[in-house]
Amino acid sequence: MRRLQALLPALFAPPFFLAAWVARAGAARRKAGALALAFLAPLMMAQAQPRLVPDISHRQVEIRYSFTGAELLLFGAIVYPGGRGPEPGTDVAVVLKGPLEPIVVREKQKVAGIWMNVERVRFRSAPSFYAVASSRPLSQLVDERIAAIYELGLGSLQLSPGGGASADVMQRFERGLIDLRRRNQLYAEYPRGVEISEGVLYRARISIPARVPVGTYTAETFLIRDGRVIAGAAREIRIEKLGFERFVAEAAEQWSFAYGVTAVALSLLLGWGASAAFRRRYG
Amino acid sequence: MDIYLPIAGLSVNALVIVGLGGLVGLLTGMVGVGGGFLTTPILIFYGIPPAVAVASATTQITGTSISGVLAHRRRRGVDVRMGAVIIAGGIAGSIAGGFLFRLLQQGGQIDTVIAFLYVILLGSVGLMMAREAATALDILKPRASQAERPARRHNPLIAMLPMRWRFYRSGLYISPLAPLGLGFVSGLLTVLLGIGGGFIMVPAMIYLLGMSAQVVVGTSLLQILFVTAVTTLVHATTTRSVDIVLAGLLLLGSVIGAQYGAWLAQRMKPELLRMILAIVVLAVAFRMALQLGWRPEEIYTVQLL
């Protein structure tokens, strides 16, 4: 970026000045300049492309005592350059991704009549939550390569499995993991979940189940045309436990012994209290 | 009425949990078992992570056993000396169990081990109880040989152990190693299965140690009280899966249920109560056995590293 800024006056300078500048520069400098120009070309074009102005209904999701899940509204506007009107064939995909976690996936098999965990595969970076909504099914918007680059769609997640197992075993475990988390509503695809009105405003609803893990989530919005991502924007959402729930979860982690003593004391108090109360009533 | 459980990390219907506690409490009051064997599997079926279910059920048992201990103590039905020896073994067992639990969790076999132990323990105890209760209710004819065989007071293996102590309340002169070992086993089971272990300890105390019957239940409850309290601490510091909200909801139901259970117990035939318990125990064992043998709904499980 800094290189671009340094080159900017040169671009707008009259040709003779540019020539003088190039002449003064050393061979290495010239090479770098040419490289920067090559990078700049598509960006200059990109400025003529539409831009995204995204927003989210909640920047923060609070997990409290009666939390049964939440629904996020991801919305925004597509701004076309030069006051141009909306252009048809522009699609939007919205991805909400939870913090990445290393996990072990185990597979049950029948051994001597008993179903037990036999094989396992480690995934170094599985998103704890992943939902994608798009204005048309993703397969119609992008090809596999683009989908893999931007992690668009459940089939294109980069889970980085640990080595050891063969490719088809990995695939089997990946499918198993995705299927399991789909049914737990931790992974979701909404093939027509983005609604674009007047070609300018878009919005998508993504629901978050109660058993969602806490952490910083990213909401990425992609503007897609002709199979290419022409603009993108990201926002962060924090999902956290608050109040009593946060206090309990923190206490269990940080003051685990005191937490255990409290749990025992609570149960003794309740047990003793109930028996005392009933003895008074019934003799 | 949904309530979010901060450690389990999901929402449950509070009324269902309180109701489950009440049901278990009713059983506790009626027949004097801790009821952990019922709470833990039902919580797991309900979708609570197994580790959280085991740990929180343990906390609940502490609460339900305290009133029983107090009641038996008033009737001088507790052998404190015997209890202390068993508790010492139990605490050692519960700490050892904590390590074993972690080891099995890392190896991914904890679910299978839990289910397997449940099937074996509950299945055998349930069958024994059912047969005994059926005999008492005149459904089954007592076996002739059993009726004639004189009851053996002392197990020869236990009589062989060195260093004998006198346990006055229990009317025993035996080596403390036997109750110590028994306590160790029950401590292990408490950590692994989330049960107080009363339904194993009571028969073991009567048939293995030969304790006099009037102190068996009280002493067993005393041991359960202490061992579950220690196990709660072990879980809180190692697996960190004690959910105080879940335990609180269970307790709310069970302490009240236990009082009604005790009231009901005075108005029912004890044989009938034991039959009911035997049926419940066998049902849980059967359900667990199905889970082992049937193709599970989820072939894949995820564990965070």
Residue B272 exposure: Cα atoms within 13 Å on the Cβ side: 6
The dihedral built from the CA positions of residue B10, B15, B16 and B17, taken in this order, carries a sign that is positive
Mean pLDDT is lowest, of B158-167, B207-216, B256-265, for B158-167
Say if the Cβ atoms of A173 and B300 lie within 8 Å: yes
Alpha carbons A55 and B36: distance in angstroms, whole number: 49
Residue B277 region, left (φ>0) first, then alpha (ψ -120 to 50), else beta?
alpha
User: pLDDT tens digits, residue range B145-183?
Assistant: 554 454 555 666 666 666 777 777 767 777 777 788 888
Among all residues of chain B, which has the CA nearest to that of A213?
Answer: B9
For CA atoms B60, B61, B64, B69, give the dihedral sign: negative
Of the partner residues A66, A177, A264, the one whose CB lies closest to the CB of residue B2: A66
Q: Could you tell me if B117 lies within 8 Å of chain A, comparing CB atoms?
A: no
CA B260 to chain centre: 20
| Cβ-based contacts under 8 A for chains A and B | 178
pLDDT score at B249: 92
- Measured between beta carbons, the chain A residues lying within 8 angstroms of B293 are 113-115
Does domain A51-241 correspond to CATH entry 2.60.40.1930? yes
CA distances, A136 to each of A147, A178, A218, B216 (Å): 14, 21, 22, 70
The whole-model pTM stands at 0.75
**What's the rounded Cα separation, in Å, for the pair A46 and A144?**
23
Provide the residue-wise pLDDT of chain A in tens; the chain has 283 residues: 444 444 444 444 444 333 334 444 444 444 444 444 444 444 445 456 788 888 888 888 888 777 888 899 999 998 888 777 777 788 999 999 999 999 989 888 888 888 888 888 889 889 999 999 999 998 888 998 989 888 898 988 888 887 777 888 888 899 999 999 998 889 999 998 999 988 889 999 999 888 888 899 999 999 998 888 988 899 999 988 888 888 888 888 888 889 989 999 998 998 888 878 777 655 4
Is there a contact between B2 and A211 if contact means CB atoms under 8 Å apart? no
Chain A hits for B66, CB-CB cut-off 8 Å, are 267-268, 271-272, 275
For residue B239, give how far its alpha carbon lies from the nearest alpha carbon of chain A (Å): 10
A246: closest CA of chain B, how far (Å): 7
Q: How confident is the model at residue A94, as a pLDDT?
A: 94
Chain A touched by B212 (CB under 8 Å): no
Instruction: Note the pLDDT of residue B152.
Output: 54
Burial of A170 (0-12, 13-18, 19+ CB in 10 A): middle
Residue extents of the structural domains in chain B: 2-293
Cβ-defined contacts of A112-119 (< 8 Å, 24+): A113/B293, A114/B112, A114/B116, A114/B292, A114/B293, A115/B112, A115/B291, A115/B292, A115/B293, A115/B294, A115/B295, A115/B296, A116/B109, A116/B112, A117/B108, A117/B109, A117/B111, A117/B112, A117/B301, A119/A165, A119/A169, A119/A173
Enumerate the domain spans of chain A.
2-46, 51-241, 245-282
B11–A260 CB contact, under 8 Å: no
